[in-house]
Amino acid sequence: MENLSPQEEPDFITFDSLCIQHLRSTRKWTKFLSLLGFIFIGFAVIIIGIVSMQFFNGSSSILAILPMTIIALIYFFPIYFLWQFSTQSKSAIEYKDTESLRKAMMYLNRHYTFMGVLVLVMIVCYLIAGIAMVVSGKMFGFL
């Protein structure tokens, strides 16, 4: 293995056939998962509409629809990033296009960044809810 200084390092990497095979397999799975995600978001939007028409009327329906719509919108973005990764990596594989591969990796990075931030936000929400339960339990004499 060569020891190259940072100035001598090439600004490209090569993909062998096994790497391309793994990328092709990953692309297929991300396309499948993102397609399922879009379908489930579509069902969620339809259910939100049906529930809001059946059970809510007037201003209370907006208050009920808003949180569900925000959740559907939050789930849309990581699914969209997966879909873009899939389409860009397909283009990169078919046409041996470096720019498409660069975009695919950018979308994959965005997907995992979004999911990481979402997990951190959920952990903070759970901690706040746990603290609130303990405090309210002490206030009302349950603990």
For residue 105, being part of any structural domain is answered with: yes
* 7: three-class secondary structure by DSSP: coil
Residue ranges for the chain with pLDDT beneath 70: 1-10, 56-61, 143
SS (H, E, C) 34-86: HHHHHHHHHHHHHHHHHHHHHHCCCHHHHHHHHHHHHHHHHHHHHHHHHHHHH
pLDDT at 107: 98
- 9-18 long-range Cβ contacts below 8 angstroms, 24+ apart: 12/98
Task: Quote the pLDDT of residue 90.
Answer: 97
Q: Which domain holds residue 73?
A: 20-139
Asked if residue 2 is part of any domain, the answer here is: no
Whether residue 6 is contained in a domain is answered as no
Provide the number of structural domains found in the chain. Answer: 1
pLDDT at 48: 84
- What was the pLDDT predicted at 142? 75
Q: Does residue 109 sit within a domain?
A: yes
Enter the pTM of the model: 0.82
Q: pLDDT digits over 74-114, tens only? A: 999 999 999 999 999 999 999 999 999 999 999 999 999 99
Domain annotation covers residue 65: yes
5 is a domain residue: no
